[in-house]
Amino acid sequence: VTKEDFQTFDYILCMDESNLRDLKRKSNQIKDCKAKIELLGTYDPQKQLIIEDPYYGSEKDFETVYQQCVRCCKAFLEKDH
């Protein structure tokens, strides 16, 4: 995520609290930050707020994360912003 991303995009969506904390800290250093920084899981209709990194998990874990991301993205895009 670049300095310009914070100034260009309306939203920057992240997966977990660590990402959220890091992005918010970085955004505080950016003049004219217009991006709203949120957890992607905020939009999950199944209310799974955190999207866990499946890297050390099984193939099933990757599928679970994929399905969660699809649900969240669909809900985000359907939301009236």
Indicate which CATH number applies to the domain containing 16.
Answer: 3.40.50.2300
Q: Is the pTM of this model over 0.85?
A: yes
DSSP state, residue 42: G
**Residue 48: alpha-carbon gap to chain centroid:** 12
Which residue of the set 32, 53, 61, 80 is catalytic? 53
What tens digit of pLDDT does each residue of 24-81 get? 999 999 999 999 999 999 999 999 999 999 999 999 999 999 999 999 999 999 998 7
Which structural domain, as residue segments, surrounds residue 62? 4-80
Q: Establish whether 22 is a catalytic residue.
A: no
Instruction: Report how far apart, in Å, the C-alpha atoms of 74 and of each of 7, 8, 24, 43, 69 are.
Output: 24, 22, 24, 9, 8
The first and second tokens of residue 80, run together, are 């009236």
